[in-house]
Chain A
Amino acid sequence: MDFSSLVTAMPGLVSGMMLTLKLLVLAIVGGVALGTLLALARLSHNKLLSNLAGFYVNYFRSIPLLLVITWFYFVVPFIIGWLTGTNEPIGAFYSCLVAFMMFEAAYYCEIVRAGIQSISRGQVNAAYALGMTYSQTMRLVILPQAFRKMTPLLLQQSIILFQDTSLVYAVGLMDFLNSARSAGDIVGELHQFLLFAGLVYFIISFGASTLVKRLQKRLTV
């Protein structure tokens, strides 16, 4: 492998990686938040609410992510423009972010739901018996315990998300993989650059999932 062209391309690759990580972190935060709300809705006694949330989850789990990304690329700018009344282009980054958040929320929802259900009913009763409201009980008693248990699963799902961020090439966003591909194209060393990108994805994902496994072991003992 010729390292000199890699070194020259490094600034572009680094900024691609920054975009990937920024997208990842924001999508995790938004996805977990939305997924938690969906999980609470699914567990709600309100039939309408729980059916709506159930429909949302099943819908997003039944369509390809790539479709969501391209679809939101065209639809989200339109909706935001309509909501804010401006015609400012919002760009591929935000449409991708919304797509990932909404898509991943469906998966996070199922993890959070299982987490909440794993906390014994007695915890809810104990909080209610002291006069705490539903939202205080969830926020201070149930969710903190549920998230502690779910952390490994949420991280595992986030590692999958990390790999899936590469799908943004479909709307021309310069993430890490797309930066590597285009840099490789320019210098005519596409194979080397793709190999390098693969190595980076592997190291990050494998390293992270090893850490998750270790964490999981620590949480179960």
Chain B
Amino acid sequence: MIRFSSVNKWYGRDHHVLKNINLEVKQGEVVVVCGPSGSGKSTLIRTINQLEPINDGEINVGGVIVNNPKTDINKLRADVGFVFQHFNLYPHLSVLDNITLAPMQVKKMSREAAEQLAMELLERVGLANKKHAYPANLSGGQQQRVAIARGLAMQPKVMLFDEPTSALDPEMIGEVLAVMQQLAESGMTMMVVTHEMGFAREVADRVLFLAEGEILEDTTPEAFFTAPQTDRARQFLRQILSPMHG
């Protein structure tokens, strides 16, 4: 579904953020990406829908080569949902309009069809009663669930998440992870940057560990948590699992 072949990216001349990335995510797979701050996790998943262009190599999403200049990038993005750390809901639109905007504009869906779809998705994330609310009047957890519904409204083939719970108060993390878990169980192909190791253990099929722009580990959650291969990963796990963390 997603394939990186020898992908390299630089910021400026000498900041090599992604180093020779090779990676394949199969249909229906859930892959968690973790690693220290600044290791390039956000950059990695943002290259998948060309929010960040790459300099070298090839990224293939569902048979479409993302970094080919001939690719209709808007069409590709419509098939790839993206959930941001800071939700990025449109503050001037109601919850319902946040969700229906892109289906109506990009997919030319009728308002009725888009609203019906939006209501089904709001039902699914448990926020049907908030359809007329504005983002400012929702809690962080509710905003993120709306953002997930907004991404799903494009009926994407893949969903990408960039630290979806790290801007949330602790008591709201669970509700968002529950929605993501349910999505994973429905068979969605997902790539999730997160430090929620419980989620990685229970939901992920694979864990990628990134450090300084390189994939140092690409393995099952079981193997990653019990027998990490690299010192960097062992050190990272010690930090993240210690009670001092956060």
Contact = CB atoms under 8 A, between A and B. Distances in A.
B105 A122 contact: no
Interface residues of B, number: 26
A141 interface: yes
A219 to B, nearest CB: 12
A122 B91 CA distance: 12
Given A136-B105, A140-B101, A129 B90 contact: no
A156 interface: no
Contacts of A127: 90, 102
Interface in A105-134: 120, 122-123, 125-133
A126 B90 contact: yes
A145 interface: yes
A218 interface: no
Contacts of B81: 129
A132 B89 CA distance: 14
Contact of B106 (A125, A130, A144): A130
B88 interface: yes
B230 to A, nearest CB: 32
Given A125-B88, A126-B88, A144-B92, A132 B102 contact: yes
Contacts of B154: 130-131
B145 to A, nearest CB: 15
Interface string B60-99: 0000000000000011111111101010111110000000
B78 A122 contact: no
A132 B51 contact: no
Q: Is the interface of A mostly helix, strand, loop or mixed?
A: helix
Contacts of B74: 131-133
A125 B76 CA distance: 14
A137 to B, nearest CB: 10
Nearest to A126: B88
A125 B102 CA distance: 13
Contacts of B86: 122
A130 B76 CA distance: 9
A128 B77 contact: yes
A140 B79 CA distance: 20
Contacts of B78: 130-131
A130 to B, nearest CB: 4
Max chain B C-beta neighbours (<10 A), residue from A122, A129, A132, A136: A129
6 contacts: A129-B49, A131-B74, A131-B77, A131-B79, A136-B105, A148-B92
The 7 A-B residue pairs with the shortest CB-CB distance, nearest first, are A131-B78, A126-B88, A130-B102, A129-B82, A122-B88, A131-B77, A131-B106
